[in-house]
Amino acid sequence: MDAREARSARRREQTRDEILNAARRVLDSHGLARLSLAAVARELQLTKAALYYYFPSKEALLFELLFGALTREVEALEEALNEGSTKGATALETMIRSLATHHAAHPLEVKLVYLHPQLATDAAPFDEAMLARLRPLNARIFGRMADLIDADREAERLPPGLPARRLAFLAHTAVVGLSTVQGLIRTADSAPLIHSDSGLVDGLVAQFCGAPPAD
């Protein structure tokens, strides 16, 4: 690639990033129901035709937003594991607590990643190219967690039980379930749960890590 082609590629990538950032602003302001290519085009003062050059459909744009949100979730987990900020905690406890914290800070991304693909009646299923991009993220979460859980078990910091990768998957699913229920209650503006958020996370840690809950 010569210098001219490299500059052109950088401009395309910059424009693509600007479109995704504009889409996130539309999501933050109006929610998933109001997200459309026309709304994003208005946000950027672009024509829809220009937008179609980068994202040929709303589904393509939504997938990129989903992929970015899931990537940030994986990176937050990896950062927590690398920091070892929860001193004395097993890797499984670190995963549960860091995911719960990340989800609480990004409730819209929880909906985008875990609810929208199931609930949107006009959503197309992920094609093979999309799945090929998602699979490495799963490997980064569950492959590494399986190794860390096995290491914690060998060091007797975690009791034996289910296969490590399955245990990590179930713990991740439990955090997602908790986060979606909390989001549902907040969206419905109903009475808060009688259990505190921290108490519920402590309960998940107790169930999955075999440690007594804090309260």
Q: What is the pLDDT of residues 89-110, one digit of tens each?
A: 789 999 999 999 999 999 889 9
- Residue 204 pLDDT > 90: yes
Q: What is the pLDDT of residues 12-65, one digit of tens each?
A: 889 899 999 999 999 888 888 788 888 999 999 888 888 888 998 888 899 999
End-to-end, the C-alpha distance of the chain in Å comes to: 61
Q: What is the dihedral of CA 77, 97, 167, 179, to 10 degrees?
A: -100
The residue ranges of every structural domain in the chain are: 1-56, 57-209
Same fold, 1-56 and 57-209: no
Backbone φ and ψ of 33, nearest 5° = -65, -30
- Residue 85 pLDDT > 60: no
Reduced to 3 states (helix: H, G, I; strand: E, B; else coil), residue 194 is coil
What CATH number does the domain located at 57-209 have?
1.10.357.10
What CATH number does the domain located at 1-56 have?
1.10.10.60
| Orientation of helix 91-105 relative to helix 144-154, angle to 10° | 140
pTM of the model: 0.85
Q: Which residue has the higher pLDDT, 115 or 168?
A: 168
Backbone φ and ψ of 57, nearest 5° = -155, 165
